[in-house]
Chains A and B, each alone.
Chain A
Amino acid sequence: MVSISVQNVSLNYPVFGAPQIRSAPSEEEETSRARQFSAADLTRVQAIRDISFELKAGERLGLIGRNGSGKSTLLRILAGIYEPNAGAVEVVGDIAPLFSVGLGTRLDATGRRNIILRGLLKGLSWQEAEAKVDEIIEFSELGDFIDLPIRTYSSGMAMRLAFSIATAFDPQILLLDEWIGAGDKEFRAKARERVQSFVNKAGIVVIASHNANIVRENCNRVLWLEYGEMKMIGDADEVLEAYSVSVKGKRLPKKKRQQGAKSPQPKPRHRVTARARRNSDD
Chain B
Amino acid sequence: MADQGDAGIRNLAMTPDTPVYVSRDRSFPAKLSRAVNDLVTGFAHWRIWTAFAWEDLRTTYKRSVIGFFWISISFLAFVSVKFMIFGPMLGRENDSYYTTYLLLGFFSWQHISSSVNGATSVFVSNENWIRNDNMPFSLYVYQNVTRNAIELGFTLIVAAGLFFYFHGSVPPRAYMLVPVLLIYLVSGVWTSIILGIVCARFRDLAHLIRTIMRISIYLTPIFWMPEQVGEVAEILWWNPFMHYLQILRGPFIDASFAVENWIFVLVVNAIGITVGFFLFALFRRRVVFWF
> Which residues does A use to contact B, with CB under 8 Å?
1, 13-14, 16, 76, 79-84, 88-95, 97, 99, 102-106, 108-109, 113, 116-117, 120-123, 125-126, 280
Contact = CB atoms under 8 A, between A and B. Distances in A.
Given A79-B134, A89-B21, A120 B285 contact: no
Main secondary structure on chain A at its contact with chain B? Answer: loop
B38 to A, nearest CB: 12
Contacts, number: 100
A102 B7 CA distance: 22
A173 to B, nearest CB: 9
Given A95-B8, A121-B135, A280-B131, 7 more contacts: A80-B20, A83-B23, A94-B20, A99-B131, A104-B129, A120-B47, A121-B133
Interface of B: 6-10, 17-24, 45, 47-48, 51-52, 55, 58-59, 62, 128-135, 285, 288-290
A92 B17 CA distance: 6
A104 B62 contact: no
A125 B45 CA distance: 10
Contacts of B59: 106, 108-109
A81 B48 contact: no
A89 B290 CA distance: 22
A95 B20 contact: yes
A93 B20 contact: yes
A-B interface, 4 closest residue pairs, ranked by CB to CB distance from nearest:
A80-B134, A104-B132, A80-B21, A103-B132
Contacts of B285: 83
A164 to B, nearest CB: 16
A81 B18 contact: no
Given A80-B8, A89-B24, A95 B55 contact: no
Contact of B51 (A1, A80, A83, A117): A117
A89 B24 CA distance: 6
Nearest to A77: B23
A91 B21 contact: yes
Contacts of A90: 19, 21-24
